[in-house]
């Protein structure tokens, strides 16, 4: 008796799944084991600490500051990227002269490496020589003020990653049948009704995919913030990834740094599960 069609590919996929599991599980288990230690190689200290690192984390004001910054960064940047990306995708989905050139221009920021983008925006934010203050006619210390520094990182991230949102949403718009929109227009539907009753519901699975990728990426943000502000001024723009990096590689607290990494992993995992459930409901 022949095996069911769904089982025929299992022998071919199994080796890849085993290899990926080993590559994924070994680092995760290693970090989890380190998070249970009080380990400072610089002083030759390595002893079992149990949940001591996690108890300290709950009372660590710097951790909670980094957590709030991370949540704020992810929420604001992803929201702005979704709104701007949807607006640009709707515009690029229309037919107009030089559409190809306009699409290429929109995608340029995504082609620039994040480190290069952050360094470029650092010069633009310069208080005395930056073009941003010159154009606005103000003299704001963008990277020296706790309020402006975090928002400056958000603006840079929105500029850099909105094209990614545009690409995915534009692909989703291209899949919507033109005949369906034309039939709705014949029935008297206006532009807002077409968008709210047809385009948006059919685009929702793609929007959730965009939210999955961008929320996970924004929650793990490191390079943009580290290059732009280094977590300053006075650690006010530290995100969880930046804080974990400083603890692990600058102070060499391997135990507590691993604890921070575990918390980031758990947060990202919880966000993934939430979005996957929403995506499953949208696909029903």
For residue 191, the domain's CATH number is: 1.10.3720.10
Tell me the residue range of the domain where 71 lies: 52-282
On whether residue 19 sits in a domain, the answer given is no
On whether residue 21 sits in a domain, the answer given is no
Q: What is the pLDDT of residue 283?
A: 59
- Tens-digit pLDDT profile for residues 35-46: 888 888 877 778
On whether residue 5 sits in a domain, the answer given is no
On whether residue 93 sits in a domain, the answer given is yes
Q: What is the pLDDT of residue 136?
A: 86
* pLDDT above 70 (res 186): yes
> pTM of the prediction?
0.86
Average pLDDT for the chain: 86
- Tens-digit pLDDT profile for residues 248-267: 888 888 888 899 999 998 98
Q: What is the pLDDT of residue 1?
A: 46
Q: What is the pLDDT of residue 46?
A: 80
* pLDDT above 80 (res 281): no
Please name the residue ranges forming H helices in 220-253: 223-228, 240-245
**Crossing angle (nearest 10°) for helices 146-175 and 99-111:** 130
* pLDDT above 60 (res 16): yes
Q: What is the pLDDT of residue 4?
A: 54
The Cα 279–Cα 276 span in angstroms is: 5
On whether residue 60 sits in a domain, the answer given is yes
- Other CB atoms closer than 10 Å to residue 275's CB: what's the count? 17
Confidence category of residue 75, pLDDT binned at 50, 70, 90:
very high
Comparing CA positions, the residue from 169, 178, 184, 192 lying closest to residue 91 is 169
On whether residue 40 sits in a domain, the answer given is no
- Tens-digit pLDDT profile for residues 221-233: 898 899 988 888 8
On whether residue 102 sits in a domain, the answer given is yes
Percent of the chain with pLDDT over 70: 96
Comparing CA positions, the residue from 40, 56, 38, 57 lying closest to residue 48 is 38
Mean pLDDT of 88-93: 90
Which residues contact residue 69 at a Cβ distance below 8 angstroms, ignoring those fewer than 6 apart? 150, 236, 237, 238, 239
* pLDDT above 80 (res 103): yes
Q: How many folded domains does the chain comprise?
A: 1
- Tens-digit pLDDT profile for residues 149-158: 999 999 999 9
Confidence category of residue 280, pLDDT binned at 50, 70, 90:
confident
On whether residue 15 sits in a domain, the answer given is no
């Amino acid at each position: 008796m022949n095996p069911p069609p769904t089982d025929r590919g299992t022998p071919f996929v199994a080796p890849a799944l085993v290899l990926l599991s080993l590559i994924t599980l070994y680092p995760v288990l290693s970090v989890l084991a380190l998070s249970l230690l009080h380990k400072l190689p610089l002083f030759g200290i390595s002893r079992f600490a149990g949940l001591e690192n996690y108890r300290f984390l709950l009372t660590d004001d710097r951790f909670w500051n980094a957590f709030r910054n991370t949540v704020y960064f992810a929420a604001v940047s992803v929201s702005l990227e979704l709104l701007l990306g949807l607006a640009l995708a709707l515009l690029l989905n229309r037919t107009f002269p030089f559409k190809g050139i306009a699409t290429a221009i929109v995608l340029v920021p995504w082609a620039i490496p994040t480190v290069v983008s952050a360094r470029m925006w650092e010069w633009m934010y310069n208080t005395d020589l930056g073009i941003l203050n010159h154009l606005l006619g103000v003299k704001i210390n963008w990277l020296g003020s706790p309020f402006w520094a975090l928002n400056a990182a958000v603006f840079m991230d929105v500029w850099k990653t909105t094209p990614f949102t545009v690409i995915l949403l534009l692909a989703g718009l291209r899949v919507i049948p033109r005949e369906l929109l034309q039939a709705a227009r014949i029935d008297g539907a206006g532009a807002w009704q077409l968008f709210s009753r047809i385009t948006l519901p059919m685009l929702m699975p793609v929007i959730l995919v965009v939210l999955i990728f961008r929320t996970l990426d924004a929650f793990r943000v490191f390079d943009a913030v580290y290059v732009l502000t280094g977590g300053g001024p006075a650690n006010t723009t530290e995100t969880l990834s930046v804080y974990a990096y400083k603890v692990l590689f600058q102070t060499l607290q391997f135990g507590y740094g691993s604890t921070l990494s575990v918390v980031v992993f758990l947060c990202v995992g919880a966000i993934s599960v939430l979005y996957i459930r929403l995506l499953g409901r949208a696909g029903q």
